[in-house]
Structure 1
Amino acid sequence: MKKWLQAFVASIQFLTRIPMPVQVPFTPEILKRSTVFFPITGLFIGLITWGAGLLFGSLLPPWPAAAFVLVVMIMMTGGLHLDGLMDTADGLLSGRTVERILEIMKDSRVGAMGVIVCFIVLLLQWSLVAALLEHDVWGLFIVLPFLGSRFAMVWAIAKEPHARADSGLGVLFHGIKGSYLVVSFLLLSFFAALALFADSAWLSPIGLLSGMEQWHLRPMIFLLLFLLVSLALSFLLARGISRKLGGLTGDTYGCIAELTLTLLFMAVVMNLNIQG
């Protein structure tokens, strides 16, 4: 039990900048176990983001409010996943050999492609958040993309080999048990369902913004599609990058998280009848 509690804390400490009153050893065993709790860590980030949206949405117009929400999202992770996104973009879009791509990704300097891809991803995230705030559609379902994107990291770690067998922080996670992936998916499913239920049953009636009445799909159908899309994105992104590099690295895990987050946000917005 002690090791599992340490793994839970390690998940929060590794993926976020949320202050924790205790320190745990970042040993390979603890880090591997921590992957089980990645979706819960995503839930915490999502809840803080949801709260930030309620706060800034009540104080500012939608577009600047969305900018502050995005700042909170970045602060929660310290830009960890964005750094991985930029390094991966620099490498994969360089058109070089696998060996050279891995060298580029290890370079602490950021290249033009990394900056461009990061700008596009942040622009998409900002505009999607702003669209929701502008149409008063801001419910607890906002946590779903954060849940799914952190599960995508677990999938990538469990299902694909590591590109650098003897170096990099990502190698500490390599070789997690299949049961960890299963439990992680169950946690994703449970908390996604709980968020949707709480949104429709508890929060909307007391006046907190939701907008679920504007959904194209019923919550249960959307939940099933969300889980299927999360699995599909996890598989496609991890397999696509792995085939290019012959495996994955710590940077690519962060890249997968940011891309999955953005695409799942898009899925949420597409399910809402807010066009025009």
Structure 2
Amino acid sequence: MSAPSSTPWPDGLRFAFGTLTVLPVKVTRWDRDAARGGMLCAPLAGVVVGAAAAVLGVLLLALGSGPLLAAAATAAVPAALTRGLHLDGLADTADGLGSGKPAEDALRIMKQSDIGPFGVITLLFVLLAQVAALAQAYGESWARGAVAAVVSATAARLALTLAARRGVPAARPEGLGAAVAGVVPVRGAAIVAVAVTLAAAGAGAFFGPYDIVRTALAVVVAAGVAELLLRHCTRRFGGVTGDVFGGLAETAATTALVVLSLGG
């Protein structure tokens, strides 16, 4: 029997969509090679999630709704397409960090099914920020709202690609975090980051030279803020977990939306 390919792109795509979305995609391989391909393809899953969110928002605008309702619906779609796992991870990460306890105790808090006060407060302000930024974008035009939805969702999954790079350890020996921690070569993560940034700049080109810079900057700043959170979590917990990955995704998405809302 021949050895499996080191970069199984079909399996990687299935891994990305099967683990990062609720779309009916069957994951046929769970080994490290498939996980590597999946995390490299994570931004593609973000494009699909963002496009679905944008379609609903634009449809509501076409039916006569205001920007606020379109924004709320757009923010709800990524939550629905991930079964709320990224939001749940954000809340658990906030509770773990906010507890101030040693790594072992903080990780135990994060595994509990309930959400503590730090998690509730974090979810509240993150969702408010997302809806506010999207409402501003839709208020300017349906196209800006759609681009904001796609760019933020893609930046969110780019944060996962970067967090899965080699050198970032897993905090636990089990779970999704352990399955994908350290699978992505640093060079591969950098190439994906550049590709996503250039694609975002291309989307901004439809609105003018300034928006080329703004959309590219949204991706760069989102990745930078997610990296700061990643490093903090790695120091506090000893590595990454599935919850940390979810927290990184929501942090990057929110940051991208905030940057896109500035200087309009």
| TM-score interval, smaller chain | 0.7 to 0.9
RMSD, aligned CA: 2.1
Query: Is residue 255 of structure 2 the alignment partner of residue 243 of structure 1?
Result: no
Contact 2:218–2:257 (8 Å) recurs in 1: no
Select the residue among 170, 179, 183 that pairs with 2:191: 183
- Identify if the C-alpha distance between structure 1 residues 51 and 137 changes in structure 2 by more than 3 Å, giving closer, same or farther: closer
C-alpha distance after superposition, 1:90-129 (max 9, x if no partner): 1111122221101111112222221221122111111221
Residue 218 of structure 1: aligned partner: 210
- Identify if the C-alpha distance between structure 1 residues 75 and 224 changes in structure 2 by more than 3 Å, giving closer, same or farther: closer
Residue 149 of structure 1: aligned partner: 156
Q: Which moved more, 1:91-100 or 1:251-260?
A: 91-100
Structure 2 residue runs without a partner (length 5+):
none
Query: Is residue 224 of structure 2 the alignment partner of residue 232 of structure 1?
Result: yes
The number of equivalent residue pairs is: 254
Deviation at 1:190, TM superposition (A): 4.2
**SS of aligned partner of 1:78:** coil
**SS of aligned partner of 1:155:** helix
Deviation at 1:228, TM superposition (A): 3.2
Residue 70 of structure 1: aligned partner: 75
Q: Which moved more, 1:263-272 or 1:114-123?
A: 114-123
**SS of aligned partner of 1:138:** helix
Structure 2 Cα separation of the partners of residues 255 and 120 of structure 1 = 14
Structure 1 Cα separation of the partners of residues 213 and 134 of structure 2 = 23
Structure 1 Cα separation of the partners of residues 128 and 190 of structure 2 = 33
Residue 16 of structure 2: aligned partner: 11
C-alpha distance after superposition, 1:208-267 (max 9, x if no partner): xxxx36xxx623333443343244223212112222222221110110110111011000
TM-score, length of structure 2 as denominator length: 0.87
C-alpha distance after superposition, 1:49-108 (max 9, x if no partner): 221121012221222232222222211211110110111111111122221101111112
Q: Which moved more, 1:59-68 or 1:244-253?
A: 59-68
Structure 2 Cα separation of the partners of residues 100 and 244 of structure 1 = 11
Identity %: 30
Q: Which runs of 4+ in 1 moved over 3 A?
A: none
Letter in 2 for 1:107: Q
C-alpha distance after superposition, 1:25-47 (max 9, x if no partner): 23332112211111111111111
C-alpha distance after superposition, 1:162-202 (max 9, x if no partner): 222x22221011222223313322431343244334xx1xx
Structure 1 Cα separation of the partners of residues 53 and 170 of structure 2 = 32
Structure 1 residue runs without a partner (length 5+):
201-211
Contact 2:198–2:216 (8 Å) recurs in 1: no
Query: Is residue 41 of structure 2 the alignment partner of residue 37 of structure 1?
Result: yes
Contact 2:53–2:74 (8 Å) recurs in 1: yes
Q: Which has the higher contact order (CA 8 A, sep 6+)?
A: 1
Deviation at 1:160, TM superposition (A): 2.4
**SS of aligned partner of 2:182:** coil
Query: Is residue 200 of structure 2 the alignment partner of residue 195 of structure 1?
Result: no
Q: Which moved more, 1:155-164 or 1:135-144?
A: 135-144
Query: Is residue 108 of structure 2 the alignment partner of residue 103 of structure 1?
Result: yes
Letter in 1 for 2:224: A
